[in-house]
A and B are shown apart, each in its own frame.
Chain A
Amino acid sequence: MSTPLLEVRNLSVDYPGRAHWFFQKSIPKRAVDNVSFTIPKGKTVGLVGESGSGKSTTGKSIIRLAPCTEGQILYEGVDIGNKSNRDFLPWRKKIQMIFQDPYNSLDPRSDVLGILSEPLEIHFPDLSKADREARCIDLLKKVKLPSEYLYRYPHEFSGGQRQRIGIARALAVEPSLIICDEPVSALDVSVQAEVVNLLQDLQEQLQLTYLFIAHDLAVVEHISDHILVMSQGKIVEAGTPAQILQNPKEEYTKTLLAAVPKLS
């Protein structure tokens, strides 16, 4: 078997806890507890769980928005979890993230050109201004937005359009792995379907790999090749969508399945 694009081995993440008294040492809170999984290239791995289950923290620790306390994160066999921030820079380009809330994840004072060209300035400093702009137009085309949106500001867009801009920003540096942290849960169902379809189209076109984090099993089942169910910091169940759906072993997975509204 070839090396998977990403392998997470025994990952644990601690957040600093609250000290109860001034001299008392704070007890760290374990958000992710000994989690291991792999993401093969070009596939989508779905990560489901409730709020507080540690699913977002797992995603964040892969791109260092959360500390990796213990364990290893291997990108194409290289341990990136324990690198210094400076050494990590080349990997920032390869792993990108799409956030849940399209209202708070875009800078309100920057137009779309500014939002999309900032990552280009950092990771492709040799590009000329005209080249950058051409790339940005190309990015908008990829996410199916018209090029005249380049000079508009985030408040002029609807939630679905903003999420597309968020996706374009993630694509700007040509990543291989995108961590989608609840990319559709803040959107209307109709817009949700459009964004999910867009993500799938982009995956086909650009051979992207996704870690798709969500709390809605119906969406995760639709998009994923493999599903991980997380609860209280641990992966309690893993399998193909069919396995999880037809033979849920854990009580928690069954609860999640029962919670999905059904159209009779």
Chain B
Amino acid sequence: MSATPLLKVEDLTITFHAHEKATVAASGVSYELNSGEVLAVVGESGSGKSVSALALTQLLPSAPTCVVSGKINLEGINLLSLSEKEISRYRGKVIAYIFQDPGTSLNPVYSVEFQIAEAIKIHRPEISDVHAAVIQSLNEVRIHEPEKVAQQYPHELSGGMQQRVMIAMALACNPRILVADEPTTALDVTIQKEIIDLLAHLCRERGMSILLITHNFGIVANFANQVIVMRHGKVVEAGTAQHVLENPTHPYTRGLIACIPRLGQKRHRLTTLPTDLS
């Protein structure tokens, strides 16, 4: 792995100031994302994993409410130093997001086609046949009858279909990095597998990098190349997925891996996280 990483995050620290109190959401977070690879960020709610992903394209509230320091380096450009106008060229086009809850991420009053077309018109003005591009992006996420789905509204689609539409929208602009913030938590296990397989396929085919945010090590095992484990805003463990899963060194990582119920290994009680972790 001698190649320079696509995205390099160094010493990212995020502090929220509210009610005359400072809360550190992430402190000293560093990681590297290589192109074509999947980096999983694992942690419980409140560990700072989503916040540090939102900071990539300055999606957090501005100062003084939220202070972000450190470096986010994308091919030699520090994303944190860009102005609002400059960063908006990166949002969606270079770094695209898909969120946990597709039901609330889609706009209920516009059709699927309108919403995907909007993203294409903004970020890829060179495309003349927008309709064809929309249908193509729906095809890529393996939606049957894309012509029909394009005319539908979010409430007419199931959760799995909504998430596919979200992915189609994110992919329509051909991003280099896809940030998937718990993309399958709201979905059934069977759909979860389909979505993960789809992301893995797109990652291979397009050489796209994925920053996968999750709390479930089960998904990490099947999908990620690299893993960082976050707790209370700090990275407690980092390494290749295989290494972290086989030899977790931090007790928190061990706890997270142990508490997943496994098929065919019936125990009397599920392991829970120890409360006295340092």
Chain A contacts to B: CB under 8 angstroms: 50-52, 158-159, 186, 188-194, 196-197, 200, 215-219, 221-222, 241, 245-246, 255-264
Q: Please list 23 pairs of residues, one from A and one from B, whose beta carbons are closer than 8 Å in the complex, sorted by A's number.
A: A50-B188, A188-B45, A189-B217, A189-B256, A191-B44, A193-B260, A193-B261, A193-B270, A200-B269, A217-B263, A219-B261, A221-B263, A222-B267, A256-B189, A259-B189, A260-B189, A261-B192, A261-B219, A261-B222, A262-B222, A262-B262, A263-B221, A264-B245
Docked complex Cα distance between A245 and B262 (Å): 11
Contact with A along B54-85 (1 / 0, CB 8 A): 00000000000000000000000000000000
Q: B144 near A: Cβ within 8 Å?
A: no
Docked complex Cα distance between A219 and B259 (Å): 11
Docked complex Cα distance between A158 and B46 (Å): 10
Asked if residues B259 and A264 are in contact (CB atoms below 8 Å), the reply is no
Docked complex Cα distance between A259 and B193 (Å): 6
Q: B151 near A: Cβ within 8 Å?
A: no
Asked if residues A189 and B263 are in contact (CB atoms below 8 Å), the reply is no
State whether A263 and B263 are in contact (beta carbons under 8 Å apart), knowing that A159-B45, A193-B271 are contacts in the complex: no
Asked if residues A52 and B158 are in contact (CB atoms below 8 Å), the reply is yes
Asked if residues A197 and B269 are in contact (CB atoms below 8 Å), the reply is yes
Q: Which among A241, A257, A261, A262 is the interface contact of B216 at CB below 8 angstroms?
A: A261
Q: B190 near A: Cβ within 8 Å?
A: yes
Contact partners of B251 in chain A: CB under 8 A: none
Contact partners of A262 in chain B: CB under 8 A: 218, 221-222, 262-263
Interchain nearest-CB distance for B137 vs A (Å) = 25
Contact partners of B44 in chain A: CB under 8 A: 188, 190-191
How extensive is the interface on chain B, given as a class? 35 or more
Asked if residues A217 and B189 are in contact (CB atoms below 8 Å), the reply is yes
Q: Which of B240-271 contact A (CB under 8 A)?
A: 245, 255-257, 259-264, 266-267, 269-271
Docked complex Cα distance between A33 and B263 (Å): 29
Contact partners of A245 in chain B: CB under 8 A: 263-264
Q: B23 near A: Cβ within 8 Å?
A: no
Asked if residues A263 and B245 are in contact (CB atoms below 8 Å), the reply is yes
Interchain nearest-CB distance for B151 vs A (Å) = 18
Contact partners of B219 in chain A: CB under 8 A: 261
Contact partners of A218 in chain B: CB under 8 A: 260-263
Contact with A along B134-159 (1 / 0, CB 8 A): 00000000000000000000000011
Docked complex Cα distance between A222 and B218 (Å): 16
Docked complex Cα distance between A191 and B270 (Å): 11
Q: Of B158, B217, B222, B260, which is in contact with the most chain A CB atoms at under 10 Å from its CB? A: B260
Contact with A along B18-51 (1 / 0, CB 8 A): 0000000000000000000000000011100000
Interchain nearest-CB distance for B269 vs A (Å) = 5
Give the nearest-CB partner of B186 in chain A.
A186
Docked complex Cα distance between A197 and B267 (Å): 11
Interchain nearest-CB distance for A16 vs B (Å) = 18
Contact partners of B255 in chain A: CB under 8 A: 190
Give the nearest-CB partner of B267 in chain A.
A222
Give the nearest-CB partner of B222 in chain A.
A261
Q: Which among B193, B260, B261, B264 is the interface contact of A258 at CB below 8 angstroms?
A: B193
Q: B6 near A: Cβ within 8 Å?
A: no
Docked complex Cα distance between A245 and B224 (Å): 27
State whether A264 and B260 are in contact (beta carbons under 8 Å apart), knowing that A159-B45, A191-B44, A200-B269 are contacts in the complex: no
Interchain nearest-CB distance for A242 vs B (Å) = 8
Q: B273 near A: Cβ within 8 Å?
A: yes
Docked complex Cα distance between A118 and B185 (Å): 32
Docked complex Cα distance between A21 and B125 (Å): 43
